[in-house]
Structure 1
Amino acid sequence: MELHHVIVEKLCSCAKREGMGQITSFEDKETAQDAAVKQLAFMQNSFCGKHEFDITEVNDHFVIGMLGGCDCGSHDKH
């Protein structure tokens, strides 16, 4: 059975503070996609707001990445 993953490309300090894992695995693609959408919404609504995130599908996996990188200087500052 092939697993489908939700992968957080970079764990910013907000993600680390929340105790987020970098990879979460699911048995079916639809469940993984739903989880990625929920995680993206949580990140955009609950984090500090200095970053924006999006989801990219790569080989039946869902990668949550930062848009435009980070220009905050240091993740330790927030």
Structure 2
Amino acid sequence: MFTINIDKECGCFKRSMYENNQSFHSKDSALIEAQSMVRTMNEDFCQKHEFTLSENGDNFSIAMSARPQTGAASSGGCCGGGHCG
């Protein structure tokens, strides 16, 4: 089994359609889903965080980090979920 694990669940993730610790029978299926998740999370979530994908054996991990803030963008971007402050 191949698993996709979300390191930290931000408010946007908790409100999304995604689930943590999803399991797949195929490595290709897990990789395709993990890449899709990361792309969607980086494009459609509040933009306060950045998500990166890494692979370790049968596990795909999605890590969250603070998105670098520059100029006018530093004051906005929070989704209001209470996890950013």
Out of 1, 5, 8, the residue aligned to residue 7 of structure 1 is: 5
RMSD of the alignment, in Å?
A: 2.3
Out of 31, 37, 40, the residue aligned to residue 38 of structure 2 is: 40
Number of residue equivalences: 73
Q: Using structure 2 for the length normalisation, give the TM-score.
A: 0.74
Q: Using structure 1 for the length normalisation, give the TM-score.
A: 0.80
Instruction: Report how far residue 67 of structure 1 moved.
Output: 3.0
| CA distance, structure 2, for counterparts of residue 77 and residue 26 of structure 1 | 30
Identity %: 32
Gaps of 5+ in 1: none
Out of 15, 18, 23, the residue aligned to residue 17 of structure 1 is: 15
1:25 is paired with a residue whose SS is: strand
Gaps of 5+ in 2: 68-77
